[in-house]
Structure 1
Amino acid sequence: MTNHTPKPDDRSDNVEKLQSMVHHTIANMEDAEAAMNNSSPEDQQRIQEKNERRRESIDAFRAEIKDEAHKQH
């Protein structure tokens, strides 16, 4: 029988990963806003709604970054 032990929980790079996620999300927002210029009104509305959800995600990422940074010290 094989012994399946879980990998240890390594959170040492969580802050960097979260910061990368923030940067990628911001880049996606900027790309979407640039695409709005050539979009139908319906697509523009969808892009605005999606970017609002992205803003909420960024806020959550930043809160988690603060939490992780406090845990590391």
Structure 2
Amino acid sequence: MAKPDNRNDNVEKLQQMKRNTQHNIEAAEEAIAHTNMPQEQKQEVRAKNQRREESIAAFEAEMKDEKQARQNGYREQ
């Protein structure tokens, strides 16, 4: 039998994932600024940071949905 869906801490988990992703962006930018990496590698890091920014936007949208579901008592819509 499948475990019931426990969504009680989804918002908090998403917030932590967002913070971790922001930290990774900052660390990557620091690496670009303070290391002597080749241009090609810098471009790859910047592209990865762009994907991270897109992930953050997705986390924020999902947090909004989860907060609304929490307010609605997680009822089926």
TM-score (norm 1): 0.91
Give the RMSD, CA atoms, in angstroms.
Answer: 0.6
Gaps of 5+ in 2: 72-77
Give the aligned length. Answer: 69
Taking the aligned partners of 2:4 and 2:48, their CA distance within structure 1 comes to: 35
Taking the aligned partners of 1:69 and 1:7, their CA distance within structure 2 comes to: 22
* TM superposition outliers: structure 1 runs of 4+ over 4 Å: none
Hey, what does 1:40 align to over in structure 2? 38
Gaps of 5+ in 1: none
Q: Where do 1:39-58 residues align within 5 Å?
A: 39-58=37-56
| TM-aligned CA deviation for residue 23 of structure 1 | 0.1
Identity of aligned residues (%): 49
* 1:63 and 2:61 correspond: yes
